[in-house]
Structure 1
Amino acid sequence: MIKRKRALATLLAAVVVGSVFVGCGKGSSSGNSDQKVTINLGADPKTIDPGLNSTVEGSRVINNVFEGLTNLDKDGKSVPGVAEKWDISEDGLTYTFHLRDNAKWSDDKPVTANDFEYAWKRVLEPNTASEYANQMFYLKNGEAFNSGKATIEDVGVKATDDHTLVVTLESPTPYFLSLTSQATYAPVRKDIVEGNTSWTLKPETYVSNGPFKMSQYKPKDTLEIVKNPSYWDNSNVKLDTVAFKFLENESSALSAFKSGQLDVLPSPPAAETPKLLEDGSAKAYPYIGTYYYNLNVSPKTAENNPEAAKALNNPKVRKALSLAIDRDALVNQVVQGGQKPATSFVPSSVSDSEGNTFKSKDYYTSSANTEEAKKLLAEAGYPEGQGFPSLEILYNTGQGHQNVAQAVQDMWNKNLGVNITLRNVERKVHLDEMKNESYLIARDGWIADFNDPVTFLDILVTGNGQNRPGYSNPEYDKLMDDAKKESDPSKRFELMHKAEDILMNDMPVIPIYEYSNVVCVNPKVKDIYLSPLGSIICKDAHVEK
């Protein structure tokens, strides 16, 4: 019976793959050009607007079709992008970027400094409602303008001519050049974007300035990009086409990879991962990120579910839930992709420009501390789980997320005596419910925007667009504000260590594991860059004939 079920599951997966890839031919590298690569994104991105995106799925598209002032090379160093050079003032507050003369948009119009000024101020404009607006708070008066305390003219970014952009910062920011390579800092055209909320949905209006441009977009199916003939470095781009597929079912996606219909498959099924790693079909790449659970501590929870709020607003309950999780068992028996148990929020792979690792302590053991967890839950008024409200874990479609949720559900039931339900939704719904704080517990993850602890700790600052738990602690906010203004590296780390101490004591998030980027790549695809920041960069990639 078991064998018959497996055979049926395999057959159904093959049928699904076949229906999704009708017309694809024998494999993704066949057809009009051998220089084509097909990549699975998993979920259809919620948005591919550089100023609005906050997901890995979206950035994997954006970083191939847009280019910022700088790029990051394979060593994580800032190299010229649209800006061919820049000057930094002695006090570290003023950056003058000199744009290259031959930078063009995909409709062949020149990229100007005004495009960057407009794009950055658009992110800060309150009506834009960008979840990444805080990324622009490094600009002089950026936060003040976003909160209505300054005018748009006061913001520290100014195009002095078509090829010169002068940027003034609130305080010296050693990683600012890294920020200018991020999707949020990409330029967009005012004449394209203004008044057109659907500009990202059609090739005619999705005007971009990177190595590739959109050629077709079929929501929930395929987003295809092609070589951009107007790109300034077009002669070094070898691929003609990159097709992004949206296969959320991991088994179907793996079948598509094995049949040659996918060339790049991030996050294969957890059950298959050990075998794929062993036979070389998959490799584990560095990935700077933490997989965690949000605990909704916002006032909305008290309004909608008082009993749940009473439990979730008690730090002893939150710590008990964290301590009752056996992270060793999760990474070794459930996710099985080379992940590391997360015993802090900032992952151990984060370092400074000198290579000094930020992580200095474990806030709890990687195995479950059931005795302490039970004690804390009893002190919170729920001995052996008695009277504990029914809570729900929200997670987005994906077998891996389901496996983790089921394992955590079982651990909390066995170790604490509490009952937890699970709810699976598609990715866009998952993101909306977290943004609206209309959940109790939700799976989440954060991949570094750049290699610095501030990219993790900053998201839990009061009012940050990524602060899904609705967490607020003035002391934490003050430490993070001081850290962002501190230029001395050791003092910066000291301030952020104190901030993480507060965070892990309050526990609005429960770190589960440190990511490992397990990816299946067709051996014919060469020089594709799987960034530790989550991007899949195709600029230098090619298909070996």
Structure 2
Amino acid sequence: MKVFYPVLVTVLVLALVAAPVFAAGKPEAVAAEGKLTFALQSEPDGYDPGITNNSFASPFMTQLFEGLVTYNAAGEIVPGNAESWTISPDGKVYTFSLRKNLKWSNGKPLTAKDYQYSLLRVLDPATGARFADMLTVYVVGAEEYYAGKGAKEAVGIKVINDYSLQITLKEPAPYYLGILAMWVYSPVNQEAVQSSPERWTMDPATFVSNGPFKVASIKMGEGLILQKNEHYWNAANVRISEINFRFILEPATALSAFEKGEIDGFREVPASDIPRLRTSSDALHILPSFGTTFYDVNNTKAPYSDPKVRRALALALDRDELINNVLQAPSTPTMALVSPGYVFNGVDFTEAHKKYGFSAKADVEQARKLLAEAGFPNGAGFPELELSYYTNATVKKMVEAMQQMWEKNLNIKVKIAVEDWAIYYARIQKMDYDVGAMGWGGDYLHPMTFLQLFTSTSTNNHVGYKNPEYDALIAKAINETDPAKAVVLMHQAEDIFVRDLPVISLYSRSLSIMIAPYVKDWTFTALANLYFKDAYIEK
């Protein structure tokens, strides 16, 4: 069988033409190794790749773990733990040949059995995997096993031998290799997990990983120190010896630390400083992202269960003002879901958004009309809206602006509530909120990474949206082998989404990062994945 390297995924990545992946230039002189200090504005709610789904964990997942496939500096899917793979003629059976020199960070061998254990663990409801649907939707027998209606042995994840793993899909999915690059498909060490199922990632002694770096120190609320993993299969080409990830919650504080030389880089540059930094610093990078910022709306709670109320809230916001005066970073206003970047037959998927006729300006007249039709003329009788968000300086400014717009344009009362991310996200999952700051960064370069979120069975549907027609179209699109027909089905699904507006979309976002020019060969993809495995320091 011919060894297959995916052309489709590569084309999708390259379709993000406006510098979707940034890799610093490489000069002739190369430093042998170096230590890097990088600041993050939010602490993730966990470091277990089989459980977490929040983007704050991404910088740790990309350094500490590696799956069967990964991304290179050009944003292409390339071999990771698997040195090659084959795909059956019907597109359903993927057979991976693992590298013979794979080891865990503790030096013990990593085999196909570890992958099988890890993926079956994701399918155990007791694990609480938030990306379980990345398996249940695609893999044979996974949905039944996850629901307690099928046997473990019937799941299409088979060990052929120590170095060969086979995954069988229900139907062909041309973008499945992109899904395989998600961290939920990363292996976890069975011995480490079983030694302390809920705390194995909280202690360096039990935090066993398989990526280019390993955990050396954990200080809750302060940060993590990673060291080069000498047992990584490609350790000879890893030149950073240590990464000190520090949690600096305020972007202004992070910028100050950067300008004083205390840190080498950070994400989420303060919006008010971007105009100055554009002209004065060669360390600023603003990159397009395959992501959409939206606000979750509790569809199960009155009055937000009424689509007219949700649309009124959406139309009452001036996205131009939010982007230009609050965010102050290049972003595209939207009321749809899918972000620009997926190009099929030379046309971006989001070109179809033009038919919706949305304006980036607030449509106050229509918003008030809809609110009146929902039973709240001029806002009369509308309950106080709680607008929730997680601790973040930029989001704080955004919700304050939204509060003012809703109170002015709809004559309703809006109360702001803020919590640390872990507490906040737990509330979102429990549906204990009215409207809450959220968003989604694509996990693979395909519209389905967004559209699948709001199926009624999605583990990431935290708004309570249920529409059988939407579910049916998504299921058909997933199973459609003709890409052109799949695009039509996905457009039809997004039409329903825009009609119902289960969330309030604001803009397709960009990403900002400051990193010192002496840090070379770092990679930041349109999927917001930051890689230091090829990086080095040259001062």
TM-score of the superposed pair, with normalisation by structure 2: 0.91
Q: Aligned with 1:470: secondary structure? A: coil
Report how far residue 34 of structure 1 moved. 6.5
- Name the counterpart of 1:187: 187
User: What is the CA deviation profile of residues 105-159 of structure 1, one whole-angstrom value per residue up to 9, with x for unaligned ones?
Assistant: 1111111000111111110111112111001121101111111221111110011
Q: Measure the CA separation in 2 of the matches of 1:348 and 1:78.
A: 20
The residue type equivalent to 1:316 in the other structure is: K
Q: Which amino acid aligns with 2:35?
A: K
Q: After superposition, give the CA deviation of every residue in 1:259-280 in whole Å (9 maximum; x if it has no partner).
A: 1122121112222122222323
- Could you give the per-residue CA deviations for residues 415-469 of structure 1, whole angstroms, max 9, x where no partner exists? 1111111011111111111111111100001000011000001111113121111
In 2, distance between residues paired with 1:271 and 1:75? 31
Residue number among 284, 293, 297 corresponding to 2:299 in the alignment: 297
For structure 1, which segment, 481-490 or 336-345, has the greater mean C-alpha deviation from structure 2 after superposition? 336-345
Tell me, what secondary structure is at the counterpart of 1:285? Answer: strand
Question: What is the match of residue 284 of structure 2?
Answer: 282
> Quick one: distance in 2 between partners of 1:428 and 1:336?
27
Equivalent residue, structure 2, for 1:259: 260
Cα distance in 2 between the residues matched to 1:453 and 1:345: 9
Contact 1:277 1:284 in 2 (8 A): no
* Unaligned runs of at least 5 residues, structure 1: 1-32, 302-308
The aligned amino acid for 1:502 is I
Indicate whether 1:237 and 2:241 are aligned: no
Q: Secondary structure at the residue paired with 1:442?
A: strand
- 5+ residue gaps in structure 2? 1-31
The residue that corresponds to 1:121 in the other structure is: 120
| Cross-structure match for 2:97 | 98
Would the aligned equivalents of 1:461 and 1:472 in 2 still touch at CA under 8 Å?
A: yes
TM-score w.r.t. length of structure 1: 0.90
- Cα drift, residue 73 of structure 1: 2.0
- Which deviates more, 123-132 or 191-200? 191-200
Distance 1:142 1:355, change over 3 A: farther
SS at match of 2:342: coil
The structure-2 alpha-carbon separation of the partners of 1:322 and 1:433, relative to structure 1 and needing over 3 Å to count, comes to same
Name the structure 1 match of 2:153: 153
Distance 1:334 1:158 in 2: 51
Counterpart position of 1:111: 110
Q: CA deviation at 1:355?
A: 5.7
Q: Which amino acid aligns with 1:250?
A: P
Residues 208-242 of structure 1, C-alpha deviations (whole Å, 9 max, x = no match): 11111111010100101111111111111010011
Aligned partners of 1:351 and 1:41: how far apart in 2?
A: 32
Write the letter of the residue equivalent to 1:505: R
Deviation at 1:75, TM superposition (A): 3.3
**Residue 327 of structure 2 corresponds to which residue in structure 1?**
335
Q: Secondary structure at the match of 1:338?
A: coil
Query: Hey, what's the Cα distance between the residues in 2 that align with 1:189 and 1:355?
Result: 43
> 1:40 is matched by which residue type in structure 2?
A
Alpha-carbon shift at residue 510 of structure 1 (Å) = 0.5
Count of residues paired in the alignment: 502
Q: Which moved more, 1:172-181 or 1:451-460?
A: 172-181
1:176 Cα shift? 1.2
Distance 2:219 2:423 in 1: 19
- Aligned residue for 1:71? 70
- Cα distance between partner residues in 2 of 1:427 and 1:516: 21
Amino acid at match of 2:149: K
Is 1:206 paired with 2:198? no
Residue in structure 2 matched with residue 81 of structure 1 by the alignment: 80
Contact 2:266 2:515 in 1 (8 A): yes
Question: What is the Cα deviation at residue 285 of structure 1?
Answer: 1.3
The match for 1:372 is: 366
2:33 touches 2:239 (CA, 8 Å); kept in 1? no
1:527, CA displacement in angstroms? 0.9
Contact 2:105 2:231 in 1 (8 A): yes
Query: What residue in structure 1 maps to residue 535 of structure 2?
Result: 541
Alpha-carbon distance in 2 for matches of 1:399, 1:229: 38
Could you say what secondary structure the match of 2:343 adopts? Answer: coil
Which residue identity does 1:421 align to in structure 2? K
Shift of 1:76: 3.0
Q: Report the CA distance between 1:387 and its aligned residue.
A: 1.0
Give the conservation status (yes or no) of the 8 Å contact 1:131–1:464. Answer: no
